[in-house]
Structure 1
Amino acid sequence: MSRRVKLALYALLCVLCVPFVFPTWWMVTSSVKPISDIFAFPPALIPSRFDFSTYSRVFELQPFGQQYLNSLYIAAVVTAGTMAVAAMAGYAFARIRFPGQNLLFLVVLVGLLIPSEVTIVPLFQLFHAAGLTDTHWPLILVPILGAPGVLATFIMRQFFITLPGELEEAARVDGLGRFGTFRKVALPLARPALGAVAIFTFLHSWNLYLEPIVFLSTPSKFTLPQALTQFVDAYGSPLWNVQLSAATMTALPILVVFVLAQRQFIEGLAHTGLKG
């Protein structure tokens, strides 16, 4: 490919990325603008005046630090739990033969077809009967055992299917049992798939909105998506610059994590598609 063609391709890619980059840029710059300048048309790419006091107001109006920690530890626990459950379930579906294996896996996959809005009422009744409403347990158990866990299991199964059978035979010759083979042979090789599962599970938990507004009612227990809706004035109108400051603090760490880990994420998804 000639240098001129490469430059033209890079220029085209820069133009195409504008619709994706501009909303984030507008969010970050508008968080330090006066409210009167946020919706000015045409929008200013660079604020005429920087007002960083909105970032301190985020912590004054809400227990935002506690809410940030809530989202962080819930996402970490959900990610670890989903990786553990999905890795074991995916390995079992891929490498262990048992009666009704394919039918059971099909039943599990049906969980991906059921919208969360359909199951939220019976889930609320279940957790309410167990006395777990207004706690973080529903936000931990539902993603691990629900659709995100099912998708993670599917990804792990697809990866384990691609592993050569000779690896398990060699492990059995060395005296390893089924769990030993999984822990010492299959699991270390599954790092790309585990990386992909970890990233999309963390993002899903971090952005979870429906379940928190259903199960939580105490502001100090809120997660970030729910907390972002609480920055309003006395008349119920949004405090746009304060909301955007909170949204910036919420989004930027995740963007950094994804940019740093995107290669492993793509590699993991590519490995899962090698064999059906």
Structure 2
Amino acid sequence: MTTATAMKYSSIKRAKSRSKAIHVALIAVSCLLAVVFAFPLYWLLRGAFVSHSEILARPPVFFPKEPGIENFRLGLERIQFLRQLWNSVSIVVPYVIGTVLTTSFAGYAFAKLRFPLRGMWFVLVISSMMLPSAVTLLPQFSLYTSLGLAGKPALIIPAFFCAGGNAYFVFLLRQFFMTIPVELSEAAKIDGAGHFRIYSRIMLPLIRPAMIVVALFSFINCWNEFFYTMIYLKTEADYTLPMGLYIVNGMRIRTMSRSWPLHWSSPLPAWCFS
């Protein structure tokens, strides 16, 4: 009995030793992969703080000898950074608010209200996801031009009211609304609550995670929007930050040999605000 117990204890000890060795090996491999994947990011970050001579040094300089922020100062001077940052914020905030409000209204209507041809209207909304944006570009441009909004900051007004055109967000919120038991709405109606009160006091708090997702995705989509801003905004003073960073990136062709550090530092603001 003693021999069997000793053999069992020995096998358990060997198994623990093997498990510990495998665990240490996995940690070592994970650390190695982390270094491999993080090195390009470090190299770009290093290039943003070094001088032109250190960028082209052979052999490469892995640690800056005299780091500085001169490259960022040059970047801020070449584009109207603060102005373009404000332009981006002034467009993104109304767009996000409009998207969350209009898509939640539509999602609630399709999930909880009963009206004629509800299924057909929902199919039409979902079908709009198959419509390329290029198809609506010319009519939108003609409409905004006739209203005198093209190339003006007032363009954010139709962005606010038309933000709910994203059919995917309508579908997403509708599915969340449908998971809420109908008994909650019926109890609220018995207490005298109308549809807006039910929507604002009962439904919205229950779908807060979905609304956060909609807000985040709409923020990213609007902030990174380049095609429409390039068409509608005419002057550099009205450009958004992605447009300004594109201008800095375009300088590479003309000033490649003189401003390497500037181009190495230009992607960093894009990561911070994208």
User: Which TM-score band (shorter chain)?
Assistant: 0.7 to 0.9
- Within the candidate set 101, 107, 117, 1:100 is matched to 117
Q: CA deviation at 1:5?
A: 6.4
Q: 1:177 to 1:75 in 2, by over 3 A?
A: same
- CA distance in structure 2 between the partners assigned to 1:165 and 1:56 by the alignment: 58
Identity of aligned residues (%): 32
3-state SS in 2 of match to 1:83: helix
Q: Does 1:165 align with 2:171?
A: no
- Once the two structures are superposed, residues 158-178 of structure 1 have per-residue CA deviations (whole angstroms, 9 ceiling, x without a partner) of 110111111111111221111
Q: 1:22 to 1:139 in 2, by over 3 A?
A: farther
- CA distance in structure 1 between the partners assigned to 2:136 and 2:245 by the alignment: 25
* Gapped regions of structure 1 (runs ≥ 5): 255-276
Q: Does 1:59 align with 2:79?
A: no
Q: Does 1:248 align with 2:261?
A: no
Matches within 5 A, 1:85-164: 85-138=102-155, 141-142=158-159, 145=162, 149-164=166-181
Q: TM-score, normalised by structure 1?
A: 0.77
- CA distance in structure 1 between the partners assigned to 2:28 and 2:115 by the alignment: 55
- CA distance in structure 2 between the partners assigned to 1:159 and 1:195 by the alignment: 13
3-state SS in 1 of match to 2:166: helix
Q: 1:135 to 1:11 in 2, by over 3 A?
A: farther
Q: CA deviation at 1:196?
A: 0.5
- CA distance in structure 2 between the partners assigned to 1:20 and 1:138 by the alignment: 41
Q: CA deviation at 1:192?
A: 0.4
- CA distance in structure 1 between the partners assigned to 2:167 and 2:138 by the alignment: 20
Is the Cα contact below 8 Å between 2:87 and 2:238 reproduced in 1? yes
Q: CA deviation at 1:145?
A: 2.8
Q: Does 1:183 align with 2:200?
A: yes
Tell which deviates more after alignment, 82-91 or 29-38.
Answer: 29-38
Report the RMSD for the aligned CA atoms in angstroms: 3.3
- Once the two structures are superposed, residues 102-142 of structure 1 have per-residue CA deviations (whole angstroms, 9 ceiling, x without a partner) of 22112112232223233323322221111111124446635
Is the Cα contact below 8 Å between 2:88 and 2:240 reproduced in 1? yes
Q: Which amino acid aligns with 2:225?
A: L
Q: 1:157 to 1:43 in 2, by over 3 A?
A: farther
Tell which deviates more after alignment, 75-84 or 24-33.
Answer: 24-33
Q: CA deviation at 1:189?
A: 1.0
- Once the two structures are superposed, residues 30-81 of structure 1 have per-residue CA deviations (whole angstroms, 9 ceiling, x without a partner) of 3223456658899876556534101111221121111011112321221111
Higher Cα radius of gyration = 2
Q: 1:58 to 1:188 in 2, by over 3 A?
A: same
Q: Which amino acid aligns with 1:251?
A: W
